A and B are shown apart, each in its own frame.
Chain A
Amino acid sequence: MSLGRSALLWTAVVLVLLGGLHTAWRHFVHQVPLLPGSQETYWDLEARVEMEAKGVPVKVRLAIPQSQPGFLMGSEHTASPGFGVSFVEGDQRFVEWSIRSALGKQWLYYRVQFKFDARQQVAAVGVAPGLLVSTWSLPLQAAAGQVLRRAWQESADPFSLAKALAEQLGDRRNQNGRLLVSEMTAAEAMVNLLNDAKVPARVLYGLALEDGRRRQALQQLVQVFDGANWQLFALGTGANAGMNVTGKDYLLWQQEAGPILEVLGAEGSGVSFSMLATHEPASSSVDALEIKDALLSLSIHSLPISEQTMFKTLLLLPLGALVIVVLRVFVGLKTSGTFMPLLIALAFLEMSLVAGLITFLLLVGAGLVLRQLLAYLNLLLVARVAAVIVCVVGLIALFAVVSFHTGISDGMKVTLFPMIILAWTIERMSILWEEEGALEVFKQGGGSLVTATVAFLLMDIYEVRYWMFNFLGLQLVVLALILVVGSYTGYRLLELWRFSPLADQPLNKE
C-alpha cells in the first residue's frame, strides 16, 4: 500500500513539475503573458489609388504613415501590377510607383498593419513649423479677434487655447465661429487663429478609425505645438469634435504638411481608404513567429483556426472531469451517469447558465412525460430509447423554433445538448422513478445539475479558458490533481452527515 502511495505521489510531483516547467517555458521563452488581460487591437489599413493612365510614363507618389503616439507600425506591403515600387524614408515617408507606359484605369494598393499601443511608446514630439502671418479678409478680422479673445481668456496654455478655439469653431450657435468656417475649413481657421496667438500649428491629414469602413477619405486634423511637444485636435461636429485625439481614434497619415498623393502622367486620380480592426490575445503575434518549433512547444496556435476553436473546448474537458472527481470523492454527490454532468456543462458553455438549466429541465421533464406514454406500447428497450431520441430531437426543434419567434436567441442553441445521453438519462430516470420513487430521481437529477453547474462555473472563467488553451503544461497539473484526489481514502462530506448517529455511541475500547 505505502509503496503504491509513494509511487503515486512521486508521479504527481513529476507531473506537476513537468507542467510547471512547460508553463514557465511558455511564459519566459515564448513570452506568453500569464494573464489574458492584454488583448491587442490591430488595425489593417488599405489605401487604394485610382487613376486613368494615358499611355505615357506614370509616376505616383503617396504619403504613407509611420509609428506614432498610440500606434505601432507592423508589416506593410503594396500591390501594383506592372509598376515599379520604392519606399522613400525620411521625416515623411512615401511610396513611389512608376511605370514606363500604362493605359486605362489603374489601381494601386498600399496595405499596412498598425498595433494599438495604449502605453504610447512613441512620444508626441516633433519640430514645430514656423509661424505664418494670417491674412484675414476684413469682415472676418473682427470675428477672428473676438473668437481668439474669448478663447484666450478661457485658457492657460497652447493646448487649452486650442481646445477652447476648437469648441467655438464647432459650436453652431456661435456667430463668429460660423462666419470663420464659411470661408475656409475649420482646421485652417484654427491654425490661422493659433498663429495669431503665436502658437505654432499646422493641418495634417489623418484617418478616423472605424471598424469595417470602406472608401473613406482622410480628415483634416490640427497639430498644435507647445515647444517640441504636440497634440492633435479633431474638428467638426462629431463626438470627438474639439477634443485632444492624440493616439486615440485617429491615425495620422502624414507627419509633415504636404500633399498626400502626387500623380504625373495620369488624370482623374484619387485615393480612398478602408480599414478593419481585429482583436487578438497578446500571445498570437508571438505564436505567429514560432511555427518553426511548433512541435517542440506543443502550441495549439500552430494549427489552423478551425481546429483551434475545437481545441478551445476540448482542452477544458480535463477540468470538468476534475470537478466531477472532486465532487464524487470529497462530497459524495449522487449523479445519474458518472460523466453525464460534464456533457451538460459543455452544453451550458455554449448557452448561458440560466437558459441551459431551464432548457435542460424542460427537455427532461417533457421527455419523462413522453417516455410514460411510450411505456404503454410495451416496446423493446433499444427501440424505446431510440423513440425517446426522436422525441428529444423533435422537442429540440420545437424549442428552437419557439425561442426564435419569441426572440430568445439562447433557445436556438439547444441543439448542443448531447441528445443520446439525454435520451438515456430520461430512460434511467423514468425507471428510477418507478422503482425507487420520485425522491431518488430528484436526488440524482439535482446532484447532476449541481455538478454540471459547478463544472460550468469553473470552465466559464475567462482566465481559466485562457490558461488551459495557452499553457498545455497545465493539463499535466490537472492530471496530477486527479491522481491525488483519486487516492483520497478519507470520509466524504455527506458521510459525515450519514454516520453522525454513530458518534453518540460510546467508544468500544476498554
Chain B
Amino acid sequence: MLGLFKVLGWLRVHFVSPARLRELGVLGLNERNVACISAHNPRRSFPSVDDKLQTKLLAQDYGIATPALLGVIRHQAEIVRFERHLPAGGGFVIKPAEGSGGKGILVIQGVFDGCYLKSSGELISRQAVQHHLSNLISGLYSLGGQPDAAIIERLIQSSSDFTDFSFEGVPDIRVIVYHGYPVMAMMRLSTRASDGKANLHQGAIGVGIDLTLGTAIQAVQHDRPILLHPDTGSDLHKLRIENWQHLLELSARCYDMTGLGYLGADLVVDAELGPLLLELNARPGLAIQMANGLGLKSRLKLIDQHRAKLKGPAEPYKERVSLAQGLFTMQVCSAPPANVE
C-alpha cells in the first residue's frame, strides 16, 4: 500500500496529467502531425523547405538575406577540388541540402597549414573533410537516404551581443509562423554539451523570447528550466535581441515565400550583415513550448479566430506581425520583471 502511494507520488512529481496539458493548450506531437503539418502544409510546398538550396534561391527572389553561398558539390568526383569553393580567409560551413535535425553540418572556423579547425577547437585533416563530403553526397544525412548535394556557405560571424550567451557556436532564433503570423519565438544557444551546435536535443539552451520586446522569458536545457548558462555563467534572463521587429517581419515573410501554414523559420544575426534567414522547417519541433513555458495550441486558436473574421485579401506582413504582438503580449504574464533597461 505504501509502495503504491510512493509510486503515485513519483508519478505526480515527474508526470503531468493530460487534462492539465490540454488546459494549458500544449501541442503534442501526434496533434502537430495531424492538425498542423498535414492540415496546413501542402505536400507540394515541402521541397522548397526540405531542400536548403531551393530555399536559398527562393529567398533571393523575395529579397530575403541568407548566408552567402560559396559553392555546391553534387558529385563524388568534385570532392577532390572542394577547396576552390572556399573563401580566401575566414570560416565556412558544409551542410547537406536535404538534411534534417542539424545532422551532417560541419562548421570550420578556419584553415591552418592544411588542417581545418572545427568550432569545438579540434583540428581535422583535409581527408576527414573529404570523407564527410563523400558521406553527405551518398545520402547518409538526407531525409530518405537519397543522394544529396553539399552546400558550402560562409560562416556567420556571431553578433557581439550574444558572445556571453553562447558557447562557441552561433545562436539562432526559431520563430513559429502560423499562416504568416509569428506565434512563438525562442533563441537557441549552443553549449559545450551540444558541441557548439544549436540543437536542443543535443543539449543546447532554448530561451523563450517575448514577441513584443525581444527579451527573454525563461530558459530550458534538455526540456528542464535553467537560470544561468552552464559554460559562460551569464544570466539568461538578461538576454535581449536588438532589431527584433525586423527579425519578426523577416520570419513572417517566409510564409509568403513558401505558402506553408505551419512553419519554423530559423534566423541568425550576423555581426556585419545583420539578420539572415538560415533555413526553414516544415516540421518544427515542440521544444519551443518548453522554452516559453506556454502551450502553442491556445495561440494557434487565437490566430484561427482572427483569420475567420478576416475578409478580403490577406494582410501584409507588417500588419500580421503587429497583430500577433498585440494578441500575445497580454498573454505573457509569467515573464520576470527584470531585464527592462
Contacts and interface: CB of A to CB of B under 8 A. Distances in A.
Interface string B9-52: 00000111110110110101111001100010000000000000
B303 interface: no
Interface stretch (B61-69, B115-123, B247-255, B289-297): B289-297
B4 interface: no
B76 A436 contact: no
30 contacts: A1-B39, A378-B131, A378-B134, A380-B134, A381-B134, A427-B140, A437-B202, A440-B201, A489-B28, A489-B31, A490-B30, A492-B28, A492-B29, A492-B30, A495-B21, A495-B29, A496-B15, A496-B17, A497-B14, A497-B15, A499-B21, A500-B14, A502-B21, A502-B290, A503-B20, A503-B21, A503-B24, A505-B294, A508-B294, A510-B333
A502 B225 CA distance: 10
Contacts of A440: 201
Most buried by A among B30, B223, B295: B30
A268 interface: no
8 closest residue pairs by CB, A with B: A381-B138, A489-B31, A503-B16, A491-B28, A500-B16, A496-B15, A505-B293, A378-B131
A508 B17 CA distance: 18
A441 B334 CA distance: 37
A508 B334 CA distance: 8
A506 interface: yes
A507 B15 contact: no
Interface of A: 1, 329, 332, 378, 380-382, 427, 431, 435-437, 440, 487-492, 495-503, 505-510
Contacts of B39: 1
Nearest to B26: A499
B236 interface: no
Nearest to B199: A436
Contacts of A436: 201-202
Interface residues of B, number: 44
Nearest to B135: A381
B290 A501 contact: yes
B76 to A, nearest CB: 7
A427 B225 CA distance: 35
A499 B29 contact: no
A502 B26 contact: yes
B103 interface: yes
A142 to B, nearest CB: 76
A381 B30 CA distance: 33
A431 B138 contact: no
B35 to A, nearest CB: 6
A88 B239 CA distance: 105
Contacts of B138: 380-382
Given A501-B220, A501-B290, A508-B294, A496 B21 contact: yes
Nearest to B130: A378
A507 B76 CA distance: 55
A199 to B, nearest CB: 66
B24 A507 contact: yes
B302 to A, nearest CB: 11
Contacts of A492: 28-30
Contacts of A497: 14-16
Contacts of B339: none
Interface in B286-341: 289-290, 293-295, 298, 331-334
